[in-house]
Structure 1
Amino acid sequence: MWDRVQKQKKLHPVAKEMEDTTMYLVLAISFVTIALNFLMRSRNQQFKNLPPSPFALPIIGHLHLMKQPIYQTIHNLSQKFGPIMSLRFGSRFVIIVNSPEAVEECFTKNDVILANRPPFCHGKYLNYNFTTMGAANYGDHWRNLRRIGNNEIFSPKRLNGFQELRKKEVGNLMKRVARVSGENAGKVELRSMILDLTFNIVMTMLAGKRYYGEDVSELEEALQFRDMMNQYGEFAKETHLGDLFPALSSIDYNGFVKRMKTLSKNMDLFLQRLLDEHRADRDRNTMINHLLTLQETQPQLYTDSIIKGLVMIDDVDFGFIDSMLRMGYG
């Protein structure tokens, strides 16, 4: 009996130390929670007259409400909180506009105010360090890119120059539809065919190459291009934790940034190879050759990086559309 009492006395300091550790841990967690709530409230006070918003959890904000499909979730929230509402994704405040009238006002009266983009890692690694039209902030560089796009790429004269090309691709599509319809008792899956048509028209205009559908001459190069577009589409569906929680920006969860850097390097090598091919063959009627011609007279405005960025943004826009269609937006 005496030995048991002595043993309990010897263990008592250990138990007391564990109890003290637990108390300090609870106090630390409470302090961190209170501090985070204070910071979030202080941050909220910086934005006055915010639109209505659902209840937000500490730290994560409204991320717990974002369930697939996202567009349906946003629609359901807008039915409850109105066509304009505010959300918080981690440390990022977001204004959701779900009204045609409000959207028109955003893109007309307030277009300059809303022109900038947050510095997400997509823009850094997949958009030449925020220098493409889709990632650059409003300023001289962005205005130059818009001028190039309006005058040299999407002008009526330039697009009309590729009219026969578009007619040819549409003709190929109709022949393919007729053949598949005959083989499958009239059943045709048009979505993939329309996407193939769109990619082929864009890439033939840009580089004189077809990478989708039938009659692809450079199969290995086409497979590489398709793989890069698929990867880009997958990245469009993901968000790096550091973009929402800056404190975690140094943590490469699941190798997200590493994979993005690899894709960025592969895309740059691919696009540079296209530019080098066009420099060796200046007779092609393509957008790249037109931009290279302008580079000769205005090299500071038409650098290789700018040309590659213009080509890439046209490609990946359709890669993004493809991704959205696969997610059920179309």
Structure 2
Amino acid sequence: MKLLILGINLSLFLSCFILTTHQIPWLFALFFLLLLSLSPFWIVPGGFAWRNSSLDVPGPVGWPLLGTLPLMNAVAHRNLAAAAASLSATRLMKFSLGATRVIISSHPDTAKEILGGSAFSDRPIKDSARFLMFERAIGFAPSGAYWRHLRRIAANHMFSPKRILNLEPLRQQVVNHMVVQTQRAMETKGFVELRMILQKGSLTNILETVFGSFLSSAMADELGPMVKEGYELIAMFNWEDHFPLRFLDFNGVKRRCHKLSSKVKIVVGRIVEERRKEALEQSINGGNHDFLTALLTLSKEDQLSDSDMIAVLWVRTLFLSSKKHILFCIDSV
């Protein structure tokens, strides 16, 4: 605070000197004074998004208007960890991303406490995530009756130890097929394009885990590009997430999300309806253990609407894609 006051006094002195000596045009001096008058607006711990907050948590001042956005590059996690360490704020640090308030923790105990709190469930989500139905899935649904319902379904049905164990043959089958493809490519070409084999194997594993082995190859080929585009849209930086510019849609994210969301509802909805009609006996009595089977065989009081089922299946597919780095991070191979 003392340094801030000293800087303001020095700036005032320089401004007065400029005005009295006429060394710099007076319009520039007035512009400088205007910027100076606005300095308390953004020279605050955590950046200007925190200007009206009384939260006593340290944080970097950041850039005017931009806040800490310049640090959000490919190694943002390292930049933020370094900033937290320099401010002795590893437990909690606040900063601004444009007009968005952000709090992070670089301490495992504090992070665990945050993840277990209801405030974390109610955190705002990106526009692209909302447009792509993430609000209806367990990872992003606000805390409440619906969120508790999804959590119970996930724990007791979709991710029960028995179901995960029963999916082991599928994973083994995918791995065996990838090994065969690798051997065949080596015998015929003398070299192996690992990227394509890994992409295809990972996508097959994800789609069959979520939708089951009843999924036709044509449907899988249709879902693949949709999964890739959805992941790209979620990861894409969007100015509208941090500034009140939603009506402009600079990067076309909103338009692309609406278009993809409509396509997802049609394609995934068709898969759900076909499975409901043709595979009920096969799914229930045939021992299928995919996520779609889990949702279709829920008891009446636990059943989800078709729109919620589509959202849960779609977001789960994207989540598995990001966790396995399929189609995207494999590009570095």
Instruction: Pick the aligned partner of 2:111 from 84, 103, 108.
Output: 103
Instruction: Pick the aligned partner of 1:73 from 76, 79, 100.
Output: 79
Residue in structure 1 matched with residue 15 of structure 2 by the alignment: none
| Distance across 2 between alignment mates of 1:313 and 1:255 | 21
- Pair 1:49-2:48 in alignment: no
Instruction: Pick the aligned partner of 1:243 from 209, 232, 241.
Output: 241
Residues 106 and 114 in structure 1, CA contact (< 8 A), matched pair in contact too: yes
- Pair 1:63-2:69 in alignment: yes
Residue in structure 2 matched with residue 7 of structure 1 by the alignment: none
Measured after TM superposition, the shift of residue 156 of structure 1 is 1.5
- Pair 1:289-2:290 in alignment: no
Measured after TM superposition, the shift of residue 143 of structure 1 is 1.0
| Distance across 1 between alignment mates of 2:68 and 2:326 | 24
Whose radius of gyration is greater, 1 or 2?
1
SS at match of 2:104: strand
Equivalenced residues, count = 296
> Higher mean Cα deviation, 28-37 or 303-312?
28-37
Residues 105, 135 of structure 1: alpha-carbon distance in 2 compared, 3 angstrom cutoff: closer
> Higher mean Cα deviation, 221-230 or 195-204?
195-204
Residue in structure 2 matched with residue 126 of structure 1 by the alignment: 132
| Distance across 2 between alignment mates of 1:154 and 1:237 | 25
- Pair 1:326-2:303 in alignment: no
Measured after TM superposition, the shift of residue 238 of structure 1 is 1.7
| Distance across 2 between alignment mates of 1:218 and 1:194 | 17
Kindly provide the amino acid, as one letter, of the partner of residue 319 in structure 1.
Answer: S
Instruction: Pick the aligned partner of 1:267 from 258, 264, 267.
Output: 264
Measured after TM superposition, the shift of residue 265 of structure 1 is 0.7
Instruction: Pick the aligned partner of 1:199 from 198, 203, 207.
Output: 203
Residues 200 and 209 in structure 1, CA contact (< 8 A), matched pair in contact too: no
Residues 54 and 87 in structure 1, CA contact (< 8 A), matched pair in contact too: yes
Residues 232 and 319 in structure 1, CA contact (< 8 A), matched pair in contact too: no
Residues 290, 123 of structure 1: alpha-carbon distance in 2 compared, 3 angstrom cutoff: same
Measured after TM superposition, the shift of residue 30 of structure 1 is 5.4
Kindly provide the amino acid, as one letter, of the partner of residue 99 in structure 1.
Answer: H
| Distance across 1 between alignment mates of 2:103 and 2:331 | 23
Gaps of 5+ in 1: 1-21, 212-216
Residues 67 and 97 in structure 2, CA contact (< 8 A), matched pair in contact too: yes
Residue in structure 1 matched with residue 217 of structure 2 by the alignment: 218
Q: Residue deviations 1:183-241, cap 9 Å, x none?
A: 6767673x664554343223213322498xxxxx624x333212111111211222332
Gaps of 5+ in 2: 1-26
Kindly provide the amino acid, as one letter, of the partner of residue 114 in structure 2.
Answer: C
> Higher mean Cα deviation, 310-319 or 192-201?
192-201
Residues 75, 46 of structure 1: alpha-carbon distance in 2 compared, 3 angstrom cutoff: closer
Residue in structure 2 matched with residue 278 of structure 1 by the alignment: 275
Measured after TM superposition, the shift of residue 257 of structure 1 is 0.7
Measured after TM superposition, the shift of residue 64 of structure 1 is 2.1
Q: How does 1:45-194 map to 2 (within 5 A)?
A: 45-51=52-58, 53-82=59-88, 83-84=90-91, 85-107=93-115, 110-127=116-133, 130-182=135-187, 189=194, 193-194=197-198
Residue in structure 1 matched with residue 14 of structure 2 by the alignment: none
- Pair 1:256-2:253 in alignment: yes
Instruction: Pick the aligned partner of 1:298 from 275, 296, 301.
Output: 301
Residues 266, 42 of structure 1: alpha-carbon distance in 2 compared, 3 angstrom cutoff: closer
Compute the TM-score of the two structures, normalised by the length of structure 2. 0.74
Identity %: 21
Kindly provide the amino acid, as one letter, of the partner of residue 253 in structure 1.
Answer: F
- Pair 1:208-2:249 in alignment: no
